[in-house]
Amino acid sequence: MGKTHTKLTKPERVLLFKWKKEGISNINCGQRLGRDKSTIGRELKRNQIKVWTGKSDELIYEPSHAQFVAEERKQKAFNAKEPLKNKQIYGYVIDHLRQGWSPEQISGRLRLVDHQGDRSWSICHETIYSFIYKQKTDLTKAALISQAILNQKLKGQIKKSVTVTDHEKPLWEYLRRKQKRRRKRGGRKVHRVRIPDRVSIHDRPKAVEGRIQVGHWEGDSIVGKGHKNGLHTEYERVSSLTRFERMERLTTEQGIAAAEKIFNPLPKQLKQTTTWDNGSEHTNHRQLTENTGILVFFADPYSAYQRGGNENANLWIRYYFPKGTDFSTVSDEELEDVQWELNNRPRKRLEYKTPQEVFDSYLRGCISS
């Protein structure tokens, strides 16, 4: 097994300086330090300093200067490294992080869709996560150092440096949960409400569980500021398509009206069942079945995992509209933009196709049949 190459340390440079003054050869110095003679020769040659001896300039080896030069050279090499493999991948990652894509979506889309088979564009999602939580900002390494220097000089002035990205936002803030550290995920509890003619999730057709048939949805409500308004959300289990409509008030009338807006335009094959939580806004579920033909089932109380796709979709919606959002101040255009973004991001389980692409393919099949 070959030796691991490491640079000389400061104490070793002090010893080397002392031994060379005593006239000890490079070979002997190398043996004493456990280094090859070529390492000693390279150290003496690369880290010399020119000094005036009184008669002429002379190159000498001085340990403090040698240490400084070596550290400076190491820092320059570090700053020269691309933040993420190369400039093209760095730009792609930063651009799509800002669009709300997850590292896994970015990695998968590069590998399987946008640059399939091109290893130069391949990057692991864990590498992106490491970059996010190590850098904590999308300033480049060189810009961080430049800003630190400027901050020392600009006392009492505005401290600002220009970067290749023109952003100082911490990278973790682009992630859905905006967490400074990666944490285990947890579910949101539901409230027990008496729902007339409630049909349990356990009576749902078996085909729903296997995600082998399109047209089976999961639904819920997102509550706005002061529990005064919100959104009714639906998630299609096969395509991962997410739809939502505004609720002016959190009532069963508004909840059913919003659900009807989602399901009425769809052909029968694409609106077979939906599984809801046990919220009070879902008590009049029979009206939805009568008006749209879709069958409504209910998850067990305090079992959000039974509607995991919808829970995940709601977390993504909360990325744009955090808790406490007053939806009366959110325009229809904003809601449509968010819905478009969610449905046009690649998904791993769809082999990095987008939900809209998959759903549209089923929709075309229904229209042509």
CA distance 250 to 264: 21
Residues 158, 208 within the same domain: no
CA of 134: how far to CAs of 108, 149, 238, in Å? 22, 21, 36
**Residue 184 falls inside a structural domain:** no
**Residue 94 falls inside a structural domain:** yes
Which CATH number do you get for residue 28? 1.10.10
CA distance 128 to 93: 8
pLDDT at 77 over 80: no
Residues 42, 158 within the same domain: no
Residues 74, 130 within the same domain: no
pLDDT at 187 over 50: no
Nearest to 344 by CA among 222, 221, 240, 260: 240
Residues 59, 132 within the same domain: no
Helices vs. strands in the chain: H and E counts, helices first: 14, 7
The predicted pLDDT at position 75 comes to 74
Q: Could you read off the pLDDT of 210-247 as tens digits, one per residue?
A: 898 999 999 999 999 999 999 999 999 999 999 999 99
CA distance 323 to 335: 15
Which CATH number do you get for residue 207? 3.30.420.10
Instruction: State the total domains in the chain.
Output: 3
Q: Could you read off the pLDDT of 98-149 as tens digits, one per residue?
A: 888 888 899 999 889 888 888 888 888 888 888 787 754 444 455 555 555 5
The predicted pLDDT at position 282 comes to 92
CA distance 171 to 182: 13
Phi, psi of 46 (to 5 degrees): -75, -30
Residues 156, 108 within the same domain: yes
Residues 267, 231 within the same domain: yes
Check: CB of residue 231 under 8 Å from CB of residue 246.
yes
**Residue 2 falls inside a structural domain:** no
Q: Could you read off the pLDDT of 166-184 as tens digits, one per residue?
A: 345 677 777 766 666 655 4
Residues 253, 356 within the same domain: yes
Residue ranges making up the domain that contains 238: 201-368
Q: How many CB atoms lie within 10 A of CB 292?
A: 20
**Residue 295 falls inside a structural domain:** yes
DSSP structure class, residue 275: E
Q: Could you read off the pLDDT of 248-274 as tens digits, one per residue?
A: 999 999 999 999 999 999 999 999 999
Residues 96, 159 within the same domain: yes
